[in-house]
Amino acid sequence: MGKYEKLVNLILSGKSDANIAFNELCNLMLKLGFQVRTRGSHKIYRKSGIPDLINLQREGSKAKVYQVRKVRETILKYNLKLNGDA
């Protein structure tokens, strides 16, 4: 199991929302096929066919807990897979 598969499993488990590295979450969004736009300290992710925007902002080296929850909800709602997965 690769690095990003482990990260997706960790996010989906909901047990470590406060311990997700911001940079890793940003890279995961790209692996899920999202495009990023930076506006100040915010990174805004969007993907064709998904009306929800995901807005990420760092809190130290970690992602904010409510933003990790939003990523989890989006992965589950749209059944997102890492690029290259069937």
* Sheet bearing 50-56, strands edge to edge: 35-39, 42-47, 50-56
pLDDT tens column, 7-41: 999 999 999 999 999 999 999 999 999 999 999 99
pLDDT tens column, 55-84: 999 989 999 999 999 999 999 999 999 986
- Give the pLDDT of residue 1: 77
pTM of the model: 0.92
Coil, helix or strand at residue 13: helix
What angle separates helix 22-31 from helix 65-78, to the nearest 10 degrees? 20
Task: Check if CATH label 3.30.920.30 holds for domain 3-78.
Answer: yes
Q: Which of 17, 20, 23 is nearest to 36 (CA)?
A: 23
Domain boundaries, given as residue ranges, for the chain = 3-78
pLDDT above 50 (res 5)? yes
- Give the pLDDT of residue 83: 80
